Every structure is written in C-alpha cells, then in structure tokens.
C-alpha cells in the first residue's frame, strides 16, 4: 500500500500515544503512513518519542526542534500530525500549512475561536487539508447511535442530556489544563462532548451557560496512572500544588437547529459528581451518545435493548473496513487498545485524504464549531445572557476570550 511520509509535531503525553496509534495501524493491512520525523521544542521529549517509535515501528525517525528545518530537510514530507498543547496549535498549524504541508491537529482545534479562524484562513490560502483529530465520534458506539438516529429508530429527537461531572481537586493530567490561556479543562475535555452532541443532533444555534471556578488550588494526584516513560517523568517533576484560573464546572442549555434542546453539566471539582447521557426521541430513546470505549442501549415501547441486541437487530449497520477490522465484534468496550485504534483510524483517514484525494470527516469548520460551542457557554456566563452560535463563531461575542487572544497577540 502506498505510504504518506508524516512528521509528528509535539512529543508529549498524547504525542507518544499517537506513535502507539501508528503501531496499531502498522499491524493492519491498511497501513498508509510512514513516520519519518519528530519535532518538539523540547529536544528531550522528541528523543523519548524517537525511542518509542524505534521500538514500535522498527525505524528511528529524524529529530528536529524547528518545524521549518524539518520541512526543508525531509524529502517527500507530505503532512504533519500536530499534538502540541492547545495554545500552540494555531502558530504551528498555520506555519505548517504555509510550508505546503497537510495537517492533522489534535482537539481542541485551537485555544480560541480566533485561533480557529486563523487556521481556517491559512488552510484555504495554502489549498491544503486541515483535519481535526476528534476521536470520540469514531468509536463504534457513536457510529451505532448515529445510525439509529439517522434510520429513525427513535423518531425525531427532541431532547438530550449530557452529564459528566466528577468530584475532586487533583491536577488533571497536566498543569496547563487548569490555566485559561493554555486551554483549560472545560475546553480540553468539553470539545469531545460538543463534537458528539453536534455529530448526533446537528448544529447548535443558541446557548445559555453558567461557568465557575470551584477549585482555585489543584493538588498533585497520589498516583500516576500511565506507564509510558514520558508520563512517569512528568509526574515525578510535577509540583505538589498549582494555582488554577480556568473554570472547572459548567452547566448549559443548548438549543439545536432541529428544535431539540440539550442539557449539559460538565466539570471536575467539588465534592459531588454525577453522570448520564441520553437522547430522547418521539418514538424511543438512546442511553448514551457513544464515545471512546462506550456502549449504548435503546429503549422502544417500554423495552430496553443492550448494545449487543441492537447490533443483532440492525444488520443494516455497517462500519468502514478499517474500523470493522479493528473492532470485529462492533464493540470497543473492554478493548485496552481502543484509544490507540481510534488514533490509527484518524491517521489513516488523513493519509487517505492526501493520497486518494478524499475528504476528512472533522475538518476545520467542524473543529471551529466544537470550540465555539464551549466558548458559547463561557461567553454566555460572562455576559449573563444567552448567546447565539452565530455571534460566537463570527467572533462578535468574545469578552471571555479577549485576554487570551491579547496574550497570544491574535486579537
Ligand atoms: N484525543 C484525546 O483523547 C486527547 C488526549 C490527551 C490530549 N489530547 C490533546 O493533545 C494535545 C497535547 O496534549 P498533551 O497532553 O500531549 O500535552 P503535553 O503537554 O503532554 O505535550 C505537549 C508537547 O508539545 C510540545 N510543544 C509545545 N509547543 C510546541 C511547538 N511550538 N512546537 C513543537 N512542540 C511543541 C511540548 O514541549 C510537549 O512535548 C492537546 O491538544 C490535548 O488536548 C487529546
């Protein structure tokens, strides 16, 4: 199979996982990627990632600390996979596009809506592909929920509920996830959920939101939960406590273009938590929007069907060849490599778009809408009124984002 030469930019925690994703892809008959170069402003992070790549993929990629040099020195480099922290996404992605490279960038597309707009303009001017690595919708459970909605299994959806509220005051993976101008927790985690909500129910038109910072001091967790060497080293170097200024708890109502409403409760703070997801339709309901490693169930006429029973009752549900190869049972739950397989899917999709002139599913416009939906909650809370998605997506309501944009010089 023809392979696209790819560079990875940003070799931290998730960058390392992307290499494990390429390893998953390399084990399938669909491998269309050759990882030839790594770039990180911190050379030691790129070195660690190169060790992983050599071990997993059998060849050691070249190491760079400068993107421009990487593009000049790597013949045939077609695209980059950008996995830096979100505050650098717009700078790195715009530079890559201007160098003539196609780009996949991790979610959130950018630190603010303005950052997303700059990236969209750069992709348009360069005539290059811009793909957003949003993985939750690629899970078989999200595909199945989407199939049920599209084929009318629950009739017209009129209401949804998306609750993911964890208790606690620990540092969530990295200190930057608690800093507003680095991409706070609600943006970083929440875009997965706004993307899922939009994937299942279509565009959002209006938002009323409330946002709070409940835990202004965050503490180092007792234990590191990942055995990747990068995460171990970072955990060892982490301060015992940090100051947080990014909101950590949000509540909102989304009004959708199709007339449905979605009730949102997302955060990680305080002493109580709750979780639950459902999509209510005129003729039934789906428990769950789907998502990484998830399952759903279907209620119709007083009967509940499990994920397995839905699959058996809906033989018309099919998955693309790579997903079907990686998840032959149609269920990702319990598969320890689910996260890595979804990354493999996204990497394959980018290379297929470059090599075979195909479209990517989550492009810059989709990525901007996901980021804008999060800022709609935060802007609504600042302005103490409901906001329209049009004013958020156009940048006309940006009180919350202004200081972030000013700090980054992109206002
Ligand atoms: N899809 C998912 O499930 C998922 C999970 C975790 C993280 N992420 C996303 O991945 C991205 C990275 O998160 P992370 O946890 O790996 O962060 P991280 O802090 O562990 O790593 C970021 C890396 O980027 C490097 N970097 C920063 N600026 C750079 C630049 N200008 N050029 C080159 N390298 C640069 C840093 O030195 C660091 O090595 C974020 O956008 C995050 O939201 C996604």
Does position 227 have pLDDT exceeding 80, yes or no?
Answer: no
41 Cβ inside 6 Å of ligand 1 = yes
179 Cβ inside 6 Å of ligand 1 = no
Alpha-carbon gap, residue 150 to 133, rounded angstroms = 23
Task: Please give the pLDDT value at position 233.
Answer: 85
Tell me which H or E stretch contains 333.
none
Quick one: pLDDT band at residue 230, thresholds 50, 70, 90? confident
What does residue 144 show for φ and ψ, rounded to 5 degrees?
-70, -45
Alpha-carbon gap, residue 361 to 366, rounded angstroms = 8
Quick one: pLDDT band at residue 365, thresholds 50, 70, 90? very high
pLDDT in tens, 271-306: 999 999 999 999 999 999 999 999 999 999 889 999
Architecture of the 4-136 domain = 3-Layer(aba) Sandwich (3.40)
Closest residue by Cα to atom 7, ligand 1, is 14
Report the share of the chain in percent with pLDDT over 90: 94
Quick one: pLDDT band at residue 363, thresholds 50, 70, 90? very high
Alpha-carbon gap, residue 360 to 351, rounded angstroms = 10
pLDDT in tens, 174-207: 899 999 999 899 999 999 999 999 999 999 999 9
Mean pLDDT over 200-218 rounds to: 98
> Where exactly are the structural domains of the chain?
4-136, 137-334
Atom of ligand 1 nearest to the CA of 135: 1
User: Contact, 127 vs 98, CB < 8 A?
Assistant: no
Instruction: Kindly tell me the sign of the dihedral angle through the C-alpha atoms of 330, 333, 337, 339.
Output: positive
Task: Please give the pLDDT value at position 228.
Answer: 78
55 Cβ inside 6 Å of ligand 1 = no
Does domain 137-334 sit in CATH 3.40.50.970? Answer: no
User: What six digits make up the tokens of 352?
Assistant: 């297929």
User: What six digits make up the tokens of 302?
Assistant: 């007083």
pLDDT in tens, 132-157: 999 999 999 999 999 999 999 999 99
Closest residue by Cα to atom 30, ligand 1, is 41
Residue 363 is given by DSSP the state B
User: What six digits make up the tokens of 31?
Assistant: 């491998």
379 Cβ inside 6 Å of ligand 1 = no
Say whether 253 sits in a helix, a strand or coil: strand
Short-list 10, 80, 7, CA closest to 230: 10
Query: For residue 80, how far is its CA from the centre of ligand 1 (angstroms)?
Result: 14
367 Cβ inside 6 Å of ligand 1 = no
How far apart, in Å, are the Cα atoms of 11 and each of 41, 174, 179, 336, 348?
Answer: 9, 14, 20, 22, 19
Pocket test for ligand 1, best of 40, 47, 84, 103 (most atoms within 8 A of CB): 84
For the chain, first and last CA: distance in Å? 44
């Amino acid at each position: 199979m023809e392979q696209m030469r790819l560079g990875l930019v940003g070799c931290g925690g998730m960058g390392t996982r992307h290499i494990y994703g390429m390893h998953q892809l390399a084990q399938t008959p669909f491998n269309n990627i050759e990882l030839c170069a790594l770039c990180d402003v911190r050379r030691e992070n790129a070195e660690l990632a190169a060790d992983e790549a050599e071990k997993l993929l059998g060849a050691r990629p070249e190491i760079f600390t400068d993107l421009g040099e990487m593009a000049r020195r790597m013949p045939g480099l077609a695209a980059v996979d950008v996995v830096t922290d979100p505050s650098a996404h717009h700078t790195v992605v715009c530079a890559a596009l201007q160098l003539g490279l196609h780009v996949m960038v991790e979610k959130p597309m950018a630190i603010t809506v303005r950052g997303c707009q700059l990236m969209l303009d750069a992709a348009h001017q360069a005539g290059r592909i811009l793909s957003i690595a949003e993985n939750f919708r690629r899970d078989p459970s999200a595909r199945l929920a989407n199939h049920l909605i599209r084929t009318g299994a629950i009739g017209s959806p009129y209401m949804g509920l998306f609750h993911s509220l964890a208790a606690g005051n620990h540092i969530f993976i990295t200190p930057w996830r608690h800093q507003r101008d680095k991409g706070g927790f609600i943006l970083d985690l929440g875009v997965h959920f706004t993307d899922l909500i939009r994937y299942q129910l279509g565009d959002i038109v209006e938002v009323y939101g409330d946002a709070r910072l409940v835990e202004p001091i965050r503490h180092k967790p007792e234990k590191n939960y990942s055995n990747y060497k990068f995460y171990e080293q970072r955990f060892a170097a982490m301060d015992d406590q940090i100051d947080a200024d990014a909101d950590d708890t949000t509540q909102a109502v989304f009004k959708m273009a199709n007339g449905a409403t979605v009730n949102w409760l997302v955060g990680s703070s305080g002493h109580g938590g709750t979780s639950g997801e459902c999509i209510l339709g005129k003729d039934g309901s789906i428990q769950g929007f789907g998502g990484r490693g998830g399952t759903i169930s279907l209620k119709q006429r007083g009967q509940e069907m499990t994920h397995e029973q839905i699959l058996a009752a809906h033989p018309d549900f099919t998955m693309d060849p790579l997903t079907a190869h990686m998840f032959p049972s149609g269920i990702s739950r319990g598969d320890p490599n689910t996260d890595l397989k979804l990354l493999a899917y996204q990497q394959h999709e980018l290379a297929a778009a470059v090599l075979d002139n195909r479209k990517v599913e989550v492009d810059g416009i989709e990525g901007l809408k996901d980021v804008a939906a999060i800022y709609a909650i935060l802007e609504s809370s600042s302005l103490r009124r409901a906001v329209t998605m049009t004013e958020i997506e156009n940048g006309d309501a940006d009180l919350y984002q202004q200081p972030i944009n000013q700090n980054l010089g992109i206002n």
